[in-house]
A and B are shown apart, each in its own frame.
Chain A
Amino acid sequence: DTAVSQTPKYLVTQMGNDKSIKCEQNLGHDTMYWYKQDSKKFLKIMFSYNNKELIINETVPNRFSPKSPDKAHLNLHINSLELGDSAVYFCASSLSWGGTNYGYTFGSGTRLTVV
């Protein structure tokens, strides 16, 4: 009954490969996000999706593409992986819109290592 689940938990891959990280939430939340945590533990938002629409797209490389088949899922596809993409990626969801925010729930993270 995990609220926000990410798979895989660990991902080791070679430079140049294409990979995907999956995220699912069973909270009925209407907005989902991807965050990147770098080696210094700094967390920065990458994308958010609300009702299947991309709301914000921070200055991330276009090799990263979020895909949301439905409101409960937000997957992250990464093409042509680079060494600098190594990080922990967190999925999150929230129930909000129209001026009220009810907080955020985070997944347990996916540690991506590019070799």
Chain B
Amino acid sequence: AQSVTQPDIHITVSEGASLELRCNYSYGATPYLFWYVQSPGQGLQLLLKYFSGDTLVQGIKGFEAEFKRSQSSFNLRKPSVHWSDAAEYFCAVGTSGGGADGLTFGKGTHLIIQP
């Protein structure tokens, strides 16, 4: 069975600083990887996804993520954060065999933006 680890429960970053959120996955085959963001009281919004091909994936809101198979990682980055980026971020893995198994989520990283 697949699993996802997000080592950082909370991260505090100053507005305008760069950001990296860590994600490690465990899955025996080629994973489908996702990053979602959840603002307070809101649903889940897809930031970006990796299925295959270029290991550097560009997403919405200026986010990008890099898939590193050797490290089983899919870290999320943003060069300069804005106060509106404060939210909960979830990394998730889906099986390459299809969508029936759904997504397995990490426990999330709570991002705090300091003025």
Contacts and interface: CB of A to CB of B under 8 A. Distances in A.
Interface of A: 31, 33, 35, 40-45, 48, 50, 55-56, 90, 92, 94-101, 103-109
A42 B104 CA distance: 10
Given A43-B90, A90-B43, A109-B43, A104 B101 contact: no
Contacts of A95: 99
B100 A48 contact: yes
Contacts of A44: 105
B49 A106 contact: no
Interface of B: 32, 34, 36, 38, 42-46, 49, 51, 88, 90, 94, 96-105, 107-108
Contacts of B108: 41-43
B98 A96 contact: yes
Closest 9 CB pairs of A and B: A96-B99, A108-B43, A94-B99, A45-B102, A106-B44, A43-B105, A55-B100, A101-B99, A31-B99
Contacts of B104: 45
A16 to B, nearest CB: 28
Chain A CB count within 10 A is highest, among B34, B51, B99, for B99
Contact of A41 (B49, B102, B103, B107): B107
14 contacts: A31-B100, A33-B102, A40-B107, A42-B105, A45-B101, A45-B102, A56-B100, A90-B43, A96-B99, A97-B98, A98-B98, A99-B96, A101-B96, A101-B99
Contacts of A94: 99
